[in-house]
Amino acid sequence: MNIFNIIKKFYFEIILLIILVIMFQSYWPIWFSGWSDIESPYAFAFFVFAFIVYFIKINYVNLANVPKNPSNKGILLVLSGLFFYVVGLRADINYMVSLSLPVLVGGIIFTLYGTELFKKLLKPLILLTFTFPIFPIHRITIPLQGLSAHLTSDFLNFLGVNSFCEGSIVNVEHYKLSVVAGCSGLRSLITLFFTSIIFTYFIKADKLKKTLFVLFTIPLSIIMNVSRISLVGFYAIYNGYGGLEKFHNDLGIVTSIISMSILVIIAKFIDNDGGKNEA
Amino acid sequence: MKHKIIILLLLFSSIVLVNVHVNKVSLQAIDVNKVFPHKIGEWVGADYKANEDVYKMVPSKEMLLRVYKNSKTKQEVSLAIVLTDRRDHVHIPDICYSGQGFIFKNEKTVNLSKGRQIVLVSALKQNKKYDIYYWYTDLKDTYSDRVKFLKHMTFSRFFDKLIKCYGLVVIISPHDNKMQTMDFNKKVDLQLTKL
């Protein structure tokens, strides 16, 4: 199929895409900066985009053969999306504007193609929704910073290192370690959580095992984060503040790799096919 | 075809709805550090910086951080003001301050003056008692309740009422001198209404 045939076949979808780009023109740069910033809690979005592309690619024939059955019910979803869009933009509620786009896309698919295709695309659409800033994430970040600091301080005391914490600052012997937003563990928690959800698509296992697998990412990310901050504490005791930042950043990469590896091993372990199947 | 036309009509009408305004009102991003005075009566302020992490949430232009000292009594209070055109930059103080080691004990509403209410929180940090006063403001009225404030702002913004910005004021002082801190609070409120 050449480009002209694609344009001819999907001309209306292309028009809609252009309209959506224009409608959300002031938000695209904000969303892109979140997706492309490795420090952002939305950096996992590229995993989701890659998954959606893969999902459509392997299911293309199946999706293309779904009979087109336009539905009036979908208009309700379009109206909900537009309600979020109008109220969000007029009243500066960015979370509502962010939510409006996936709801609108879902509503348009539902209206133009019908229930069956909408149902088939619902899971990737829900995943896509979470790549937009639809929640006030700072409300979780700061309590998580405090929790990480407390657990680290308790863990260090357990290991015999004199430590106490004030809010999100861990005092290790003579050193103060500030558990900043990047160290709250939220970024790794979100990335592991959504990656595990994507993994469940490829694993052959019952629902309970899949749910437990996804939930396992919560203690995993907390344990890995506490270990990371504790190791940073040990580094400070033996080396002082010099090179601490670099050590902390490098350790972040190492803990991410370890966490992801643990996830892959567990995924293979619970998979009835031992990870041989693909979808 | 019918569904395609409905969708196009709905999208275009929403574009019209967000772009038609009764009053052409846009919120101002006030540089609070420039417009808020360093000297308020007997109180003299000195700026301080927060850690980098704080400025990722609220840019430095939108946030004033000062310690004011009373030249007569030598009492010190810490003042934080956020004036912003971004609704999501106005946070609940206990989220930010718990990260600094403050433990919020109890919270009550107190009158700053007639019809102007603010919140007083009794807090602890390293076993020392502090009073944390905070309120939300649109530079006209004070709000002790965040939900009420955001509701007011939502309706005002939606119906294009003349609103300057979203504001949050947090004042922290040691527990010992309530009278002087309240006097400072009133002065800060007065200064803000003049902006």
Mean pLDDT of chain A, nearest integer: 87
Cα distances from A51 to residues A44, A123, A163, B74, B93, in angstroms, run 11, 11, 43, 62, 39
Span A161-203, pLDDT tens digits: 888 887 778 888 778 877 766 667 788 888 899 999 999 988 8
Contact A82 B14 (CB under 8 A): yes
Q: Is the ipTM of this complex over 0.90?
A: no
Q: Say how far apart CA B109 and CA B121 lie, in whole Å.
A: 9
The shortest CB-CB distance from B3 to any of A112, A139, A178 is to: A112
CATH 3.40.1000 for domain B24-194, yes or no, is yes
Task: Provide the shortest C-alpha distance from residue A165 to chain B (in Å).
Answer: 8
Which residues, including other chains, have CB under 8 Å from residue B142's CB and lie 6 or more apart? B112, B116, B117, B118, B135, B136, B189
Residue B137 has pLDDT above 80, yes or no: yes
Nearest of A195, A198, A201 to residue A279 by alpha carbon: A201
Residue A10 has pLDDT above 90, yes or no: no
Cβ–Cβ < 8 Å for B123, B104? yes
Question: A29: which 2 tokens?
Answer: 């740069």
Q: How confident is the model at residue A100 (pLDDT cuts 50, 70, 90)?
A: very high
More confident residue, A11 or A178: A11
Contact B98 A79 (CB under 8 A): no
Task: Give CA B45 to chain center in angstroms.
Answer: 18
Q: Identify all chain A residues contacting B99, using CB atoms and an 8 Å cutoff.
A: 142, 145-146, 167-168
The shortest CB-CB distance from A12 to any of B4, B10, B11 is to: B4
Nearest of A139, A104, A80, A79 to residue A27 by alpha carbon: A104
Residue B159 has pLDDT above 80, yes or no: yes
Q: How confident is the model at residue B102 (pLDDT cuts 50, 70, 90)?
A: confident
- The DSSP code sequence of B80-138 is EEEEES-GGG---HHHHHHTTT-EEEEEEEEEEETTEEEEEEEEEETTEEEEEEEEEE-
Span A131-165, pLDDT tens digits: 999 988 777 777 788 888 888 888 888 888 888 88
What is the total residue count of chain B? 195
Span A84-94, pLDDT tens digits: 999 999 888 89
Torsion of CA B41, B46, B47, B49, to 10 degrees: -140
Domain boundaries, chain B: 24-194
Q: Say how far apart CA A279 and CA B87 lie, in whole Å.
A: 43
Contact B95 A143 (CB under 8 A): yes
Residue B21 has pLDDT above 80, yes or no: no
CB of B102 within 8 Å of any CB in chain A?
yes
Long-range Cβ contact pairs of B63-72 (< 8 A, separation 24 or more): B63/B32, B64/B32, B64/B33, B64/B36, B66/B38, B68/B40, B68/B43, B68/B44, B68/B184, B69/B43, B69/B44, B69/B45, B70/B42, B70/B43, B70/B180, B70/B184, B71/B42, B71/B43, B71/B44, B72/B42
Q: Identify all chain B residues contacting A19, using CB atoms and an 8 Å cutoff.
A: 8, 11
Based on the number of CB atoms within 10 Å of its own CB, is A180 exposed (0-12), middle (13-18) or buried (19 or more)?
middle
CB of B74 within 8 Å of any CB in chain A?
no
- Predicted local confidence at residue A182, as pLDDT: 64
Average the pLDDT over A51-76 and give the result: 89
- Predicted local confidence at residue A278, as pLDDT: 44
Q: Indicate the pTM of the whole model.
A: 0.80
Span B38-82, pLDDT tens digits: 999 899 999 998 877 778 778 888 899 999 999 888 889 999 999
Span A208-250, pLDDT tens digits: 999 999 999 999 988 998 888 888 888 888 887 788 878 888 8
- Predicted local confidence at residue A17, as pLDDT: 93
Residue A111 has pLDDT above 80, yes or no: yes
Cβ–Cβ < 8 Å for A28, A82? no
Q: How confident is the model at residue B26 (pLDDT cuts 50, 70, 90)?
A: low
Average the pLDDT over B146-156 and give the result: 90
- Predicted local confidence at residue A279, as pLDDT: 40
- Predicted local confidence at residue A143, as pLDDT: 79
Percent of chain B with pLDDT over 90: 33
Closest-CA residue of A relative to B159 is A90
Long-range Cβ contact pairs of A168-176 (< 8 A, separation 24 or more): A168/A142, A168/B99, A168/B100, A169/B100, A169/B101, A170/A229, A170/A233, A172/A233, A172/A236, A172/A237, A173/A236, A173/A237, A175/A233, A175/A236, A175/A237, A175/A240, A175/A241
Average the pLDDT over B135-140 and give the result: 91
